[in-house]
Amino acid sequence: MAAKGGLSLNTATVRDAWTLEQCIDGCQRHGIPGIAPWRDKLQEMGVARAAKAIREAGLVVSGLCRGGMFPAADEAGRRAAIEDNRCAIDEAQAIGAQCLVLVCGGLPPGSKDLPGARNMVQDGLAAILPEARAAGVLLALEPLHPMTCADRSVLATLGQALDLCDALGEGTAVAADVYHVWWDPQVAAQMQRAGSRLAAFHVCDWLVPTTDTVFDRGMPGDGVIDIPALRGMAEAAGYRGLLEVEILSRTWWARDPDEVVRICKERHATAC
Amino acid sequence: MAAKGGLSLNTATVRDAWTLEQCIDGCQRHGIPGIAPWRDKLQEMGVARAAKAIREAGLVVSGLCRGGMFPAADEAGRRAAIEDNRCAIDEAQAIGAQCLVLVCGGLPPGSKDLPGARNMVQDGLAAILPEARAAGVLLALEPLHPMTCADRSVLATLGQALDLCDALGEGTAVAADVYHVWWDPQVAAQMQRAGSRLAAFHVCDWLVPTTDTVFDRGMPGDGVIDIPALRGMAEAAGYRGLLEVEILSRTWWARDPDEVVRICKERHATAC
């Protein structure tokens, strides 16, 4: 990994304002060394064209967001998810992403079978792992905040993600987003356990009050997360990658994207 | 404990409609064997008068809600919290509550020091434990959903609560609310670990989508929690107490309280 502790712009941060092309340009203008595209923006630009532009801009791709979403109500749905993840692996390889970030998915519609959904996640990961290994694409399991367990991620803690890595082996890793892990009494121990399997480190902040369970994340420094402490845990465990700023927020999406990126850069220096 | 698996009405479920006196009457009319008052309603009715009415109604008090809220920005605030918890212990003893439920508190205003807040919780518990033991009042630590970590409960998991019980010893126990623990990959193991220290079992449901992090809990059966599975874990671990229905919900508060209680009773039979 390159540029320890430098900033990477996750394109979701300026989701409503900028295309991927504009994000690449924005990173250059603001002197930001890394980028993490979402797949919709990547596909919109075209994978080959984006890969070339990112390479020419000299940007590190801290991750591709996102694969995952394995659980489904029937076999056809689960197969479709696996196929989609295979496309994501190809895309991650094409743009030289340091990892493919996986948001593993929630309960299938109408289901209350949480252990069953967790098994579907493990089975889906096992199914795509050979392609990921062959492509040299690291699968980064991102545990999401437990408030997303029903509809976005039955993978809820770093410990659970590392248990999956232990079961699946080489080619799997974890992505730690401070928003998702800050509350966890086990976070220090699990960061240490992750060690070289910590493939990505995402930053934003937890606002008080939080008015939406998905789209009310804060700018680093505006909330209650002790980001430097968590970064310290990650770096003590050996993390040498970028700090990727990913802010899903209706508030920030409504603001001028250059202003948002300028403030991200400032807070990267002062609040991370 | 009495009446394994019977229903207990937490007064918060009909918070906006009924006084404690009306709740006691409602339990009798609906044939509900247990009650769990909140302290504001208890104090409004008068502790001695409430204790007499509950006794005469033959109701089991599955818990008094709630003590806790230990972290504070300064020493005076922390002392005030401890004094308030001493009052809560007296009240719990007066009404014969099977436990005093503790919601331990979030970060002090302006603080990002999560380990520090957790230490304040442990110190507060240690300070009130002698009085609780002398009064014969069991302190039931209730881990709250991690989405409440900043402002309500730095105690986020059953495992963390049991670690505190281990450290504090006799007179401490845990309260498991399905809403707070259902997502936890460790829930089965920690229920088993709790064993006889499982002092209360609360039910409601997780709605999809959840539109408010505090006041959008669901009626059992309306959400995605596999309540019978969790109840099975609790009873396998030795739990023999009531199932306390606690629904903090603007939706249900707006409905006729007799209708709410009737539906609670029905769902207790069909969805728990």
pLDDT at A3 over 70: no
pLDDT at A260 over 90: yes
pLDDT of amino acid B29: 98
Residue to test with chain B: of A111, A112, A153, A177, most B Cβ within 10 A = A112
Biggest CA–CA distance in chain B, Å, is: 48
* Residues of chain B contacting A163 with CB distance shorter than 8 Å: 185
Average pLDDT on B222-227 reads 98
B157/A185 touch (CB, cutoff 8 Å), yes or no: yes
pLDDT-derived band at B1 (thresholds 50, 70, 90) equals very low
Residue from the list A112, A160, A183 with its beta carbon closest to the beta carbon of B149: A183
Closest CA–CA distance from residue A53 to any residue of chain B (Å): 39
B231 Cβ contact partners less than 8 Å away, ≥ 6 residues apart: B5, B201, B203, B243, B272
Question: Got the DSSP string for B143-189?
Answer: ---GGGTTTTBS---HHHHHHHHHHH-TTEEEEEEHHHHTT-TTHHH
Percent of chain A residues topping a pLDDT of 70: 99
Q: Which domains does chain B have, with CATH numbers?
A: 7-270 (3.20.20.150)
Rounded Cα distance between B266 and B256, Å, is 15
CB A204 within 8 A of CB A234: no
Using alpha carbons, select from B181, B174, B177, B99 the residue that is nearest to residue B132.
Answer: B99
**ipTM entry:** 0.96
For residue B102, what are the β-bridge partners? Answer: B67, B141
Residue from the list A118, A183, A223 with its beta carbon closest to the beta carbon of B156: A183
B194 vs A4, more confident: B194
Tokens matching residue A76: 């056809």
Residue from the list B114, B186, B210 with its beta carbon closest to the beta carbon of A213: B210
Using alpha carbons, select from A197, A157, A161, A202 the residue that is nearest to residue A179.
Answer: A202
Tokens matching residue B122: 């442990």
Give tens-digit pLDDT for B121-180: 999 999 999 999 999 999 999 999 999 999 999 999 999 999 999 999 999 999 999 999
Average pLDDT on A241-261 reads 98
B184/A210 touch (CB, cutoff 8 Å), yes or no: no
